[in-house]
Amino acid sequence: MEIDIHRKIAKAEKRARQIKSFYTHLLAYVSINTALVIYYFADDYLAAQFWQTTFSITLGFGSLGVVSHAIAVYGQTIFFPKGWEQRKIKQLIEKNSNNKSNI
């Protein structure tokens, strides 16, 4: 019994560390990209090259990193919560039956 409690506590602590790690990553991503946008637009020459370098490399790969970290921490439920497919099917059936009754 006591072993189960310790396992649950350890699992909850691990989960909290994962969530904290994700939000730290997200904060770093937003901070770095905000600083880069300010830096590039402060100089007219660099502003012309902004979309070529920063967007494709920093924002593109950085976004990919944040999204993959979110999926690793929260699982696929971040995009499709449990039961989403069944609720969507039910919604489409109801919508379809309402459209047929209006004809």
- Residues 46-81 have pLDDT tens digits of 666 666 676 677 778 888 999 999 988 888 776 677
pTM of the model: 0.66
- With a cut of 80, say whether residue 5 has pLDDT above it: yes
Helix, strand, coil fractions of the chain, as percent rounded to 5 = 90, 0, 10
Give me the count of residues in the chain: 103
pLDDT at residue 22, as a whole number: 94
Coil/strand/helix, residue 38: helix
- With a cut of 90, say whether residue 20 has pLDDT above it: yes
Which letter does DSSP use for residue 81 in this model? -
CA distance linking residue 83 with residue 16, whole number of Å: 25
Backbone φ and ψ of 30, nearest 5°: -65, -45
Which two structure tokens, joined as six digits, stand for 56? Answer: 């494709």
pLDDT at residue 18, as a whole number: 93
